[in-house]
Chain A
Amino acid sequence: MTKQLYERPIIRKLETGMPGKFGMRTEYPPTTQIDGIPVKKITEKYGSPVFILSEDTIRTTFKRAQRAFSTRYPKVQFAWSYKTNYLDAVCRIYHQEGSWAEVVSGFEYDKALHNGVDGKRIIFNGPGKSEEDLKKAIDNDSLIHIDHLDELYLLIGIAGNSSRKPRVAIRVNMDTGIYPQWDRFGFNYENGQAWDAINKIVGSGKLELTGLHTHIGTFILTPNAYAVAATKLADLAAEISNKFNFRIKYIDLGGGFASRNTLKGSYLPGPDVNPTFDDYAEAISSALLNSRLDSSDLPLLILETGRALIDDAGYLAGSVIANKRLSNGKKSLILDLGVNLLFTSFWYDHKITPAQPFSLYREDTVLYGPLCMNIDVVRDNISFPQLNTGDGVVVHSVGAYNMTQWMQFITLRPKIILIDVKGNMHVIRDNETLNTVIGSENLPEHLKTN
């Protein structure tokens, strides 16, 4: 006689009188494959956990974003935000698609050069540029976005000894009706700091004011905030044209577009409520086209969105280490992937699915990582089916920030795999080994013997 398929016995208390506010399904089908490749095959070949990136999703998402903007505004340029994910393979996909590079440190600047980006197509943002960084950016004719007055004076000083006139923009911060208002970067619009900086730049005669930049925040769920920002920058551009009789070449609205992830505390899932590229594009393009800008000579619109472009292309596949019952009877699972790899689990309730078929019986579960640290909680509450040790799980939409903000902490960082558009797998970053860690350590002579 053939034996029946085993499933662990479970009992669930039925809660009556507390219907769900929205009555929506919270469960998902299993993620048995990614881009046609079985997840089990990937983890068997490359280990568990492993990051997986889909080149097809990266390119498709980029094209969708580009179409949303270029069908609404005549001159659009994307610049890939290096800090979001600066793996060479990822950056080169975006550069192949036509993206410039947007960097915020000397290290990222050098990485963009290493990826073959023409210096003229590198936007150098950030509050922490060194004199050496600035000199290099001037030599390469990059676009330098000035963050504060000390940087402005430093640039004027460097430009005095340089044969090349640096191309600069100022970063402007402003009230766009959202909270929090980011005012730590750039010059404020409302209190006149931005105008003061513009007057100083033009007055110096040593810098070429080519653009205006803002970056109003992160994971912005209100497209109208971008419309406010675009209108304010357009007003600044029109005033520059009136006062100094020249036109700035571009308006850079930065990034901050939401991906499909669900922010912690959100009532509804991200895919249902977060704005799309079309929503953002409509708000920004309409604001610029209806502004005081001369419609016969509109500036280039630069966008530095990172998260919304790559988040959905990234997966983290892992497996169950153990089942565990907590003191209050709540179920928990210990996974082999923790917050050291999944920094974004502090911000999002990530969509997490089993990597193999499961039955309909589910339990409220806490998902823990493998670290011996109390903070290592990947999901503090998820309705999850019954899984056994060794079963696979897949965390979705992890393409942004995790592969740059991850930490070598307690465990070693795993491989990152790229599935190309033909379905071939490539290791684009190898896993760390003990030597990765101790290789850069030095032991004083007197400690070499025990």
Chain B
Amino acid sequence: MSLIKIQTNIAISDSGFLFNPATGESFSVNPIGLEIIRLMREGKNETEICAAVNETYDADPAIVERDLHDFIHMLRQHQLLDNNGGQNN
């Protein structure tokens, strides 16, 4: 699975607050969303992120994968990913 890269200039607070200085837009993420973004910054790919979430949380792996896919889609929608990062060609 491909590597997902969050734009490097995005400021992320410990409480789940995101700020994009390029556009001035702010976002909030829930705790699990914040954890996933941290994993992305650590350079983990989708498979590794799913494995990490499954290890910490009580969830069906298929649901985790589906939700992660949706979350990435939303990050892309909000233009928070680097150069179409994660887009399957």
Q: Does A3 reach chain B (CB closer than 8 Å)?
A: yes
Residues on B with C-beta less than 8 A from A6 are 32, 53, 57-59, 63-64
Q: Does A325 reach chain B (CB closer than 8 Å)?
A: yes
* Chain B 63-80 interface 0/1 with A at a Cβ cutoff of 8 Å (1 = within): 110111011011101101
Give the contact-size bracket for chain B.
Answer: 20 to 34
Minimum Cβ distance to chain A for residue B24 (Å) = 9
Q: Which of B31-46 contact A (CB under 8 A)?
A: 31-33, 36
Main secondary structure of the interface of B (DSSP, over half): helix
Bound-state CA distance A8–B59 (Å) is 10
Q: Does B14 reach chain A (CB closer than 8 Å)?
A: no
Residues on A with C-beta less than 8 A from B71 are 8-11
* Chain A 1-25 interface 0/1 with B at a Cβ cutoff of 8 Å (1 = within): 0011111111111101000000000
Residues on A with C-beta less than 8 A from B32 are 6-9
Known: A3-B56, A3-B58, A7-B32. A12 touches B73 (CB 8 A): no
- Which residue of A has the minimal Cβ distance to B59? A6
- Which residue of A has the minimal Cβ distance to B35? A9
User: Among B33, B56, B73, which residue has the most Cβ atoms of chain A within 10 A?
Assistant: B33
Residues on B with C-beta less than 8 A from A16 are 26
Bound-state CA distance A14–B78 (Å) is 11
- Which residue of B has the minimal Cβ distance to A14? B26
Q: Are A329 and B57 in contact (CB under 8 A)?
A: no
Residues on B with C-beta less than 8 A from A7 are 30-32
Q: Does A130 reach chain B (CB closer than 8 Å)?
A: no
Tally of A-B Cβ pairs under 8 angstroms: 71
Q: Are A12 and B67 in contact (CB under 8 A)?
A: no
Q: Are A11 and B28 in contact (CB under 8 A)?
A: yes
Residues on A with C-beta less than 8 A from B18 are 11
Bound-state CA distance A323–B73 (Å) is 13
Residues on A with C-beta less than 8 A from B64 are 6
Known: A9-B36, A9-B68, A11-B74. A388 touches B29 (CB 8 A): no
- Which residue of B has the minimal Cβ distance to A322? B66
Minimum Cβ distance to chain B for residue A291 (Å) = 60
Bound-state CA distance A7–B29 (Å) is 12
Bound-state CA distance A361–B31 (Å) is 10
Q: Does A96 reach chain B (CB closer than 8 Å)?
A: no
Minimum Cβ distance to chain A for residue B32 (Å) = 5
Residues on B with C-beta less than 8 A from A442 are none
- Which residue of A has the minimal Cβ distance to B70? A325
Q: Does A359 reach chain B (CB closer than 8 Å)?
A: yes
- Which residue of B has the minimal Cβ distance to A328? B77
Minimum Cβ distance to chain B for residue A365 (Å) = 13
Give the contact-size bracket for chain A.
Answer: 20 to 34
Bound-state CA distance A9–B66 (Å) is 11
Minimum Cβ distance to chain B for residue A45 (Å) = 25
Minimum Cβ distance to chain A for residue B69 (Å) = 9
Bound-state CA distance A8–B36 (Å) is 11
* Chain A 360-401 interface 0/1 with B at a Cβ cutoff of 8 Å (1 = within): 010000000000000000000000000010000000000000
Minimum Cβ distance to chain B for residue A8 (Å) = 4
Q: Are B27 and A13 in contact (CB under 8 A)?
A: yes
Minimum Cβ distance to chain A for residue B26 (Å) = 4
Q: Are B78 and A13 in contact (CB under 8 A)?
A: yes
Minimum Cβ distance to chain A for residue B58 (Å) = 4
Q: Are B58 and A9 in contact (CB under 8 A)?
A: no
Residues on A with C-beta less than 8 A from B25 are 13-14
Q: Are B29 and A11 in contact (CB under 8 A)?
A: yes
Residues on A with C-beta less than 8 A from B75 are 11
Bound-state CA distance A7–B32 (Å) is 7
Bound-state CA distance A417–B79 (Å) is 48
Q: Are A8 and B56 in contact (CB under 8 A)?
A: no
Known: A16-B26, A361-B30, A388-B63. A10 touches B56 (CB 8 A): no
Minimum Cβ distance to chain B for residue A51 (Å) = 30
Q: Are A9 and B29 in contact (CB under 8 A)?
A: yes
Q: Are A12 and B77 in contact (CB under 8 A)?
A: no
Q: Are A12 and B27 in contact (CB under 8 A)?
A: yes
Minimum Cβ distance to chain B for residue A17 (Å) = 11
Known: A11-B33, A13-B27. A5 touches B58 (CB 8 A): yes
Q: Which of A2-57 contact B (CB under 8 A)?
A: 3-14, 16
* Chain A 304-348 interface 0/1 with B at a Cβ cutoff of 8 Å (1 = within): 000000000000000000010100110000000000000000000
> What are 10 pairs between A and B in contact, CB < 8 Å?
A3-B56, A3-B58, A4-B57, A9-B30, A9-B36, A10-B33, A11-B28, A14-B27, A16-B26, A359-B30
Top-3 shortest CB links A-B: A6-B59, A9-B33, A329-B77
Residues of B participating in the A interface, judged by any CB pair closer than 8 Å = 18, 25-33, 36, 53, 56-59, 63-64, 66-68, 70-71, 73-75, 77-78, 80
Q: Other CB < 8 Å A-B pairs besides A325-B70, A329-B78, 7 of them? A: A5-B57, A6-B63, A10-B71, A11-B28, A13-B27, A14-B25, A329-B77
